Chains A and B, each alone.
Chain A
Amino acid sequence: MSRSPAPEAIAVPAEPRADTPPTTRSKRDRNRLHRVEHRWALAFVAPPVIGFLAFTLYPILFAAYASLTSWNGLGPMRFVGLKNYVSLFQDEYFLKSLWNTFFYMIGIPIGLVLSLLLAIALNRKIPGRTAFRTIYYIPVVSSLAAIAIVWQFAYNGDFGLVNQVLAWFGIEGPDWLQNTATVKPAIIIMAVWKGLGYSMLLYLAAIQSVPTSLYEAASLDGAGAFQKFRSITLPMVRPVTFFLVVTNIIAGAQIFTEINIMTPTGGPEFSSASVVWYIWRKAFKYQQMGYATAMAIALGLIVFVITVIQFRLNRRNSFSIE
């Protein structure tokens, strides 16, 4: 590569060459600058774009094709058309795991209400609030696998912590993870506890950014604490609520680790199995990669549709303060 004379030209602009009119020259310089900048822009844009192509778009296209095949994940694929998708609707375990997965999402509103209340409480000047904030945030930074194992012990029917505490109040607790009626609530409680700190932190930040002038004005108008909460705090943290609902639903649709650790066989009568757990089992235990991929695509579509609906609803309800 030959070195271009450009730096010298920029360095000594006072001596234009005779054959080039000054105006053209400055335009060319600008073009050159533009090109250089452009290249740099491309350089910075390239990593995520290449990453997207190699690790997202290509796998998606590949999966879309794989979902139309009978494939064990090792050998050649055999094209079977929409057969896998037709089977999906007749597969009672798929439908059950889908139901379970959405059942777990009951924890999302519960978690949001609790974390908002916590955020309000910890926004006050109570003694030891930094310590409390830390305590509530610790589960967020802990390994999910470790947490699931600890909760698995806690839920043990005979010597688990949960039933010991219940026994103080004279309640005989069930064997939480072995009972079709309690296994999902048990996992929801754990998931809410785990996610509380994260939502609380975002709410705390949102509450602190509400202008105090709004509260002062409301006080002058004679608004009570609840009215202020309802008409000022709640609308002002709305964007955070929206963000949390969307991300929680997407994450909730992918629930896997806690299910696999706490109920390795999918729970009694398949009562705790989530869609992703079932996909994983079909793909890697039973080597039905084609069928499992079809389930994954179906789950992806469901999540996509739900998210689009949420954005629509949010747009319709949004407002701004002028």
Chain B
Amino acid sequence: MNRKKIAATAIVALVSATALTACSSSSDASDAGGTKEITFMFRGGADEKTAYQAAIDKYTADTGVKVKMIVTDADQYATKLQAAVAGNNVPDVFYIEQASLQSYVASGVLMDITDAVADSGVDLDNIWPYGVDSYRYDGTVQGTSDGRLYGLPKDVGPFSFGYNKTMLEAAGIPLPDKDTPLTWDEFVDICKQLTTDTDGDGTIDQWGTGLNVTWNLQSMVWSNGGDWTNEDHTKVTVDTPEFAEALQKFADLTNVDAVTPSAADAATLDTYQRWMAGQIAFFPVGPWDVSTYNDLDFDYDLIPWPTVGDAGPATWVGSLGIGVSNTTKYPDDAVKLATYLSADPDAMQTLVDANIQIPNLIDVAQDWAGEADAEPANRQEFLDIVQDYGRAMPAAFTYGAEWYDELWTNIQPVLDGKQTAADYLAAEQPKMQALLDESIENAKQAASAG
């Protein structure tokens, strides 16, 4: 063969080779130098990255195992993780959502880490039971203390309620008690007093509240004795009178009581910005908000959620988990990393100091809540939610959340006062039920295939 032929053949070979390897390249290079490397994929901002870097540095110093971090933004995380799974290139350790856990377990992507965690010496009793149980699954039911463990909590996120202390004091309104929740009528009454035109230019520029239905309706429905589904998540119960009353009261805040900015604003960020500008009296506060809210020009504090009915205060607790790949080459090291990220006291301290989450470890959390110069002063409210009256999101333990999201899709006419809550919910219940039935069917199929 002459040179030209060789060159031509080489090009063909090279092109085919790159085309083929592009499909199957994976991080097998880690063995090369004799040092192990595992990958950790997560989403989040700079604070999380800094905090995890500290935890990972400590982990690497202790074990000699290197960790490669892959950070994505929140929107892209699910897509990227699924692409990684499809490409047989699952990160060794990664974030997992409560509502995706069952499908990832059934598909054999997540490793059963029950025994490995027990062997690692982590004291699970010192981590919030809600956080740990969220990642337990026995093949049919998720979220109870019986199932096998498929992840550790990255955090638990109690969604609390706050008020603008400076505004209430200026208006001469007695501050709400931090232990007794306001009744709904009391709450609306205070809101009405605070919805005013403060600078006398003829337009209202201060409001009682401004809530987003997607995140705030849960508390109202639960405190009124209603719920999204029955106990075992098989029947959608949004068409009950309790549920309808709560949703109606939510819509009435804008349309009847007129204590919120205009209707459309509830769906945008505007009320959030108005709260931060000191124009809104009552607003939800999650642990991830604290770093931002502590820099605001006014003082704020936490109180229990106002109650619509007599079922006591209620709100949801979110959680994100850290799971380990079933196909990892280094199962022991990967589980160990998960325990560092979830339960290492130093790593936890970094995250807590950044004011983006409450401590996962119960003893650390109690010290943190009792600090004298705590801001907000009533940090204990976060812990009360996790321990006493917080619940999982309605779709946290179902196979996918499509049935749940359906409720929000067409809800705008109710919020605008063009349709009654009862009518809307009666029409929605069958649609949501059909989607829930489908998800139960899919869960069974996935479980039997796995």
Count residues of A near B (Cβ-Cβ below 8 Å): 43
Instruction: Give the chain B neighbours of A75 by CB distance below 8 A.
Output: 103, 106-108, 446, 449-450
Contact A175 B103 (CB under 8 A): no
Contact A285 B5 (CB under 8 A): no
Contact A54 B2 (CB under 8 A): no
The verdict on A157 contacting B265 (CB below 8 Å), with A42-B8, A43-B8 known, is yes
A268 on interface, CB distance cutoff 8 Å: yes
Chain B interface SS verdict (over half): helix
Instruction: Give the chain B neighbours of A50 by CB distance below 8 A.
Output: 15-16, 19
A7 on interface, CB distance cutoff 8 Å: yes
In the complex, what's the smallest C-beta–C-beta distance from A165 to chain B, in angstroms? 19
B393 on interface, CB distance cutoff 8 Å: no
CB interface residues, A 29-47, toward B, < 8 Å: 36, 39-40, 42-43, 46-47
In the complex, what's the smallest C-beta–C-beta distance from A276 to chain B, in angstroms? 13
CB interface residues, B 302-342, toward A, < 8 Å: none
A179 on interface, CB distance cutoff 8 Å: yes
CA distance A63 to B289 in the complex (A): 42
Q: Mark B391-423, 1 if CB is under 8 A from A, else 0.
A: 000000000111000001110110000000000
In the complex, what's the smallest C-beta–C-beta distance from A42 to chain B, in angstroms? 7
Instruction: Give the chain A neighbours of B446 by CB distance below 8 A.
Output: 72, 75
Contact A40 B8 (CB under 8 A): yes
Instruction: Give the chain B neighbours of A81 by CB distance below 8 A.
Output: none
CB interface residues, A 12-58, toward B, < 8 Å: 36, 39-40, 42-43, 46-47, 50-51, 54
A270 on interface, CB distance cutoff 8 Å: yes
B171 on interface, CB distance cutoff 8 Å: no
CB interface residues, B 406-450, toward A, < 8 Å: 408-410, 412-413, 442, 445-446, 449-450
B86 on interface, CB distance cutoff 8 Å: yes
Contact A284 B78 (CB under 8 A): yes
CB interface residues, B 242-298, toward A, < 8 Å: 262, 264-265, 267-268, 270
Q: Mark A194-235, 1 if CB is under 8 A from B, else 0.
A: 000000000000000000000000000000000000000000
In the complex, what's the smallest C-beta–C-beta distance from B72 to chain A, in angstroms? 13
Contact A3 B2 (CB under 8 A): yes
CB interface residues, A 142-158, toward B, < 8 Å: 156-158
Q: Which among B1, B11, B75, B265 is the interface contact of A3 at CB below 8 angstroms?
A: B1
Q: Which residues from chain B sit less than 8 Å from chain A, CB to CB?
A: 1-2, 4-6, 8-9, 11-12, 15-16, 19-20, 23, 75, 78-79, 82, 85-86, 100, 103-104, 106-109, 262, 264-265, 267-268, 270, 400-402, 408-410, 412-413, 442, 445-446, 449-450
User: What are 22 A-B pairs at a CB distance below 8 A?
Assistant: A1-B1, A3-B1, A36-B4, A36-B8, A39-B5, A42-B12, A43-B8, A46-B12, A50-B15, A50-B16, A54-B23, A74-B82, A74-B86, A78-B449, A156-B270, A158-B265, A175-B265, A178-B264, A265-B408, A266-B409, A284-B79, A285-B78
